[in-house]
Structure formats: C-alpha cells, structure tokens
Structure 1
Amino acid sequence: MLVHPNFDPIALSLGPLKIHWYGLTYLLAFGLFFLLALRRARQPWYAATGWTRREIEDMLFWGVLGTILGGRLGYVLFYKLSEYLANPLDIFAVWKGGMSFHGGMLGVILALILYARRRGRPWLDVTDFVAPCVPTGIAAVRLGNFINGELWGRAADPSLPWAMVFPQAGDGLARHPSQLYQAGLEGLLLFVLLWIYARKQRPIGQVSGAFLFGYGVFRFIAEFFRQPDSHLGLLALGMSMGQWLCVPMIAAGVLLWVWAGRRAR
C-alpha cells in the first residue's frame, strides 16, 4: 500500500502571508483557461466574430467571481446548510475550505449570462467558447485536493497497487486516490475529448451540451470511488450527493445537444 505524503498545505510563507497549495492550483486553473481561450480565439469562426485578448481577460474576471462565489454558496446550500444556518458567519471563512463544483458551475453560468449581455453576444456562443477551456482547470483543482489529503476515496482492496492510506482519514484503511481519478476523468480525458470535438465548428449550444454531459458522466463514475461526505452519507438509491447533482446535469447536456442540432437543421 502507498501512504499519502501528507504535504504541508502551505506552499510558501512570507511573514504573516501564507500561500496555500490549494490557492496556487486555482491560479494554475485560471492561467490554463486564459492560455487555452487565446487559442480558441484564433479559430476562424471565433476570429471572424472579433474575439480579442481584452474580451477574454474581461470574461476571465467574471468567471473567477462566478467560480468563487458560486462554489462557496453551492457548498453551503448543497452540503452543510443546517450547519451554516446555525453559524452564518462561517460562510465567509473560505480559508477553512468548502467549495462545490456544481455551485461553481452555476455561478459561472450566471456570470457568463451577465458578460454576454454586456458584450452583446449570444449566451450559448460564449459558453461554447468557454467549455473546452475548463477541464484542465478542474484537473488542477483536483490535484490541490490530493495535495491537501482531502476528499479521499472509499476503502479499496489493499492489494491494489495504487491503494493509498490517507492519514487524515484517521482509520488506516487503504483507499482509492479518488482525487486523481477525478483529475484524470473530469479533467484530462474530458479536455482531450472536448478539444477534439470543438476543433470543428458545431451548431451553437452543442459544445456546451457535450461539456455538461461529459462532466456529469465522468463525475458520476468517479463518485463510486469517492468517500461520501460523512455528514450526508449515501442518499436515495444508494447514490451520493455528487451523483444526484450530476443527474440533471447529464439530462441537460443531452437535451441541449439535441436541441442545438435540431435548431441548426
């Protein structure tokens, strides 16, 4: 069995200022998004509609706000509502952790709606532009989860070559390194598939639908190996909260993809 290295969550200390690895992985996520978005802007159908570096910088600002605010509020609403209602000031204690991807996605959707209105662009055109640039950021943040030794996996067969003991779990069990599974599935694999799919001009809305469907499916699969939140456990039908949140995401992805194709015809 492997043992999690139990990294120091603080990457660098400069006097009273402490820079956490988790924060650096978010910076890496936003940096990768920016570089990939610049490449997307050079594709003929986007270059023809005037996507510029300045627009991408503006969109990234809105996206960062949507990610942080939506991710935090999503965690509060989906995972620990009663706890935060009892201690509402803890909602602002983001340094203690607690972010939800599904909440962050909703926050980004709202931010992109506002951005699209300001720029006079069709909203789905903006989300199609953004979608292939997102998965590498997801992979980066999942690596941050692994470095922190959080969101570990369910118990695994100790003979599994990559089974890992997470000291933070406090039980000495061999577990799946589910953070790395998620980085590989929701991050790298989804990025490769979406990037290839989006190299050709698609009907407006189809790239966004493919992202919703692909992320939902890969996250649903990864949840079978991820330890459910201790205060929630498994919910109806033996599914985790993460899986239940993926169900409407998968359905929305299919409906959007089909609708976009029919609308184009």
Structure 2
Amino acid sequence: MFAFPQIDPVIFQIGPLAVRWYGMMYLLGFVACYFIIRHLCRRRDLDLSGDALSDLLFYCILGVILGGRLGYTLFYNTSFYLQHPLKIFAVWEGGMSFHGGLLGVVVAAVLFCRRRRLPMLLTGDILVTAATVGLGLGRLGNFINGELWGRVTTVPWGMVFPGGGPDPRHPSQLYEAALEGPVLFLILWILHRRKVRQGIPFFTFFLGYGLFRFGIEFFRQPDVQLGFLWGGATMGQLLSLPMILFGAVGLVLILRKGRGA
C-alpha cells in the first residue's frame, strides 16, 4: 500500500491569481498538440498554414471547453445544475466530461474543415493523434488533484487518497493516463508512419479509447452522485459503448472500401 503523495495543486500564486497543476496540464496539452499537428500535417501532406493551424486550435479549444462543460452538466450532474443554472459557467470549480469535450471538438473540427475545405477524415486522423497527449496529461492532473480515484483494492500498489476514506484504492487515474495517453498515441503514431488509408487512425482512436475507458471503469470509483447504473455499469462505460461501435463500424467500412478499390 502506498500513501498518496501530497502535491500542492497550486504551483504558485501571485495575489489572487493561482496557477494550478490541472490548468497547467491543459496548457501543456494544447502546446504539445500544436507541434504534433504541425508535424503530422507535413508528414501526411495536409495543407494547413500557420494561421490556419492557430485557427483550428482555437476552434478545438472552444469545443473542448464548451462540450466538456455541457457534457458534464448533462451526463453527470443534471439535477444540480437545473437547480443552480449559473453554476454551469463556473468552470474553475471543476467538472468536465471527456465524452462531451470530444463531441465539442468533432463539431468544431467539422465546421472548420467545411469552412477551409479540408479533408475531414485526414484532419480527424491528425487531431485525434494529438489529442492523446492532452488526455494523458489531463489524467495526471486528476491524480495530482487527488480526484477520480479508483475502487477499494488489495493490490500492493493501492493508494489511500485524501477524501477517499481509509482504505487503499486503485490509482485509476494513472491507468487512464498510461492507456489513453502514450499507449494510444503510439498505436496511432505507427499508423501514421505506415501512411494507412485516411480515416483509419480516426476510427482506431474511437475504438481504442472506448475499449480502454470501458475496461478501466471496472477499477474506477463511479461518480458519487450517479453510482452504478443499468446492470452495474458506470456512466463512463455507457458513454464509451457508442464510441466502440462507431470506431468498429468505421474501420470495417474503410477496410471494405479499400479491398474494393
């Protein structure tokens, strides 16, 4: 059993301005995304100039924030926000949904591609690959904050989290950070290096993330306001099922099209 490392969530503070690790992870994720997208655009021959790339990132940042916040409001804590609607805008208090953020980015990217007349599948291939870095860093931010911990366990690496009671729990944030970050990034990076058909990295991301998240949810403690849902499933698992289906169907269609070409 390990004691949770007490890490101050605030890196430094100047007067009322506090720079937190969680926010820093978002910032580092967006910076990393910029350089990865720029590199993959050159490698996959996607015409995206400096100004256009900056505009694309702006669209995606808006999609992440708006989609993530609205997704959390709708999927995880609807009753609370119906009673306190102004709290929806209090993003500094936490509460973001990955699945909502993903939908927000997809909508933003589609609008951007239509406006710039860019190939949607190739652009999607590049965006989801870069997004894995942000996902991994975000989960590290969850771990530093001591939030979204796992279920009670007897494994030797179990941790006692502040606010999680006296029992050791799975450090499920680290499981997610590894699988949704470097592991998924490596899979997609290899596909890019092999210059596979457009759309294969995009749909592989949906399938891979959905499977990873579905599996990790068996070790993650469900949100207290929701608990276990239908058949003992968690909200994260229910939201991951459409991703798995979407990714699998998309890959099948692309591979069949490739054989018929």
Corresponding residue SS for 1:152: coil
1:224-243 equivalences under 5 Å are 224-243=218-237
1:44-123 equivalences under 5 Å are 45-46=44-45, 49-123=46-120
Inter-partner Cα distance in structure 2 for 1:164 and 1:217: 25
Q: Percent of pairs identical after alignment?
A: 49
Inter-partner Cα distance in structure 1 for 2:86 and 2:6: 30
C-alpha deviations, 1:221-257, integer Å up to 9, x for none? Answer: 1111100011111111211100010001000001111
Inter-partner Cα distance in structure 1 for 2:192 and 2:212: 19
1:11-22 equivalences under 5 Å are 11-22=11-22
C-alpha deviations, 1:162-211, integer Å up to 9, x for none? Answer: 11000222x21100000000001111110111111121222222211100
Corresponding residue SS for 2:12: strand
- Give the length in aligned residue pairs: 259
1:214 aligned partner: 208
Amino acid at match of 2:16: P
Inter-partner Cα distance in structure 2 for 1:250 and 1:192: 19
Q: How far is 1:54 from its partner? A: 2.6
- How large is the RMSD of aligned CA atoms in angstroms? 1.2
Inter-partner Cα distance in structure 2 for 1:177 and 1:119: 43
1:8 aligned partner: 8
Q: Is 1:166 aligned to 2:174, yes or no?
A: no
Deviates further, 27-36 or 99-108 = 27-36
Inter-partner Cα distance in structure 1 for 2:16 and 2:227: 38
C-alpha deviations, 1:125-166, integer Å up to 9, x for none? Answer: 211121211111100000000000000000010xx2311000
Inter-partner Cα distance in structure 2 for 1:40 and 1:123: 15
Selected match of 2:242 from 232, 238, 248: 248
Runs of at least 4 residues off by over 4 Å: none
Inter-partner Cα distance in structure 1 for 2:128 and 2:93: 29
**Which ranges in structure 2 are unaligned for 5 or more consecutive residues?**
none
Contact 1:41 1:52 in 2 (8 A): no
1:124 aligned partner: 121
- Alignment TM-score, normalising by the size of structure 2: 0.96
Inter-partner Cα distance in structure 1 for 2:126 and 2:139: 23
**Which ranges in structure 1 are unaligned for 5 or more consecutive residues?**
none
Contact 1:128 1:208 in 2 (8 A): yes
Q: How far is 1:10 from its partner? A: 1.4
Q: How far is 1:16 from its partner? A: 1.4
